[in-house]
């Protein structure tokens, strides 16, 4: 009887693992598809790619926002609000989020981020193009730092060191390191980054505990590191205007 029960439990566990592996995109990403309001659309090659939050002034930096996991680009005004008032601000819509077609994955989001960066560099020649990555968006923002003609500056807010570590901590009963396909490794991506790098963590973060941000700091001693009070979704109330 005990052997039969053990086999049943093991079989159920294996089925759960197979389902999670097959459907992990729906577990990892949580897009919304609500109306966008009055924001000006950002088109790349005639395709919806996000929104222009602010035009900025000539010669000033241009910011690419890579937002967090839940929601969509059009609700990220709180990120634009912390950026210098004279700077241009664009927010990327991830594939499968908002009204952008496609499916979210590390591959598709990284590709969209690189396309967006190249588009902004072409639209604003001679101006510094910077990236700010929030939470999950710290992954593609860091990945851009490993690319040729990387952003001039990268700001990571409530970031992780390695996504697999956060996922494993949140589901300790599963072999996440074997299952997870989307494995952003921010420390590895930024190890050779030469631009200005800022890291902001929230000391009471329960979504991405602060130890993951501290691990990223320890791996990247060249970064400017800041700890903010509050939790994962409170950071914009404590950060103030981003210093230039």
Would you kindly state where each structural domain of the chain is located, as residue ranges?
Answer: 2-237
The DSSP secondary structure of 115-171, one letter per residue, reads: HHHHHHHHHSTTS-EEEEEEGGGHHHHHHHTTSTT--SEEEEES--SBHHHHHHHH-
Rg (CA), the chain: 19
**What are the pLDDT digits (tens) for 20-64?**
444 455 557 989 999 888 899 999 999 999 999 999 999 999 999
Nearest to 92 by CA among 156, 79, 84: 79
Nearest to 68 by CA among 31, 99, 101, 105: 31
Q: Tell me the average pLDDT across 4-16.
A: 41
CA distance 196 to 151: 9
Q: What percent of the chain has pLDDT over 70?
A: 85
CA distance 203 to 159: 12
Question: CB count, 10 Å around CB of 57?
Answer: 13
User: 121: which 2 tokens?
Assistant: 């560099």
Architecture of domain 2-237: 3-Layer(aba) Sandwich (3.40)
CA distance 121 to 214: 31
Is this model's pTM higher than 0.85 or not?
yes
**What are the pLDDT digits (tens) for 210-239?**
999 999 999 999 999 999 999 999 999 999
């Amino acid at each position: 009887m005990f052997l039969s029960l053990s086999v049943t439990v093991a079989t159920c566990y294996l089925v759960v693992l197979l389902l999670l592996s097959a459907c992990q995109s729906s577990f990892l990403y949580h897009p919304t598809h609500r109306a966008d309001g009055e924001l000006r659309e950002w088109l790349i090659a005639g395709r919806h790619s996000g929104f222009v939050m602010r035009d900025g002034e000539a010669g000033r930096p241009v910011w690419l926002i890579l937002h967090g996991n839940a929601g969509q680009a059009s609700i990220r005004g709180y990120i634009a609000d912390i950026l210098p008032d004279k700077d241009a601000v664009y927010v990327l819509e991830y594939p499968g989020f908002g009204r952008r077609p496609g499916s979210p994955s590390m591959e598709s989001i990284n590709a969209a981020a690189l396309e967006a960066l190249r588009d902004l560099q072409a639209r604003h020649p001679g101006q510094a193009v910077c990236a700010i990555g929030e939470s999950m968006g710290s992954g593609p923002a860091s990945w851009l730092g490993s690319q040729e003609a990387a952003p001039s500056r990268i700001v990571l807010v409530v970031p992780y060191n390695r996504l697999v570590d956060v996922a494993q901590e949140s589901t300790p009963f599963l072999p996440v390191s074997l299952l997870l396909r989307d494995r952003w490794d921010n420390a590895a991506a930024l190890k050779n980054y030469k631009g200005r790098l800022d890291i902001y963590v929230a000391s009471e973060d329960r979504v991405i505990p602060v130890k993951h941000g501290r691990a990223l700091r320890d791996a990247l001693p060249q970064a400017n590191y800041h700890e903010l009070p509050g939790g994962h979704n409170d950071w914009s109330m404590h950060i103030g205007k981003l210093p230039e």
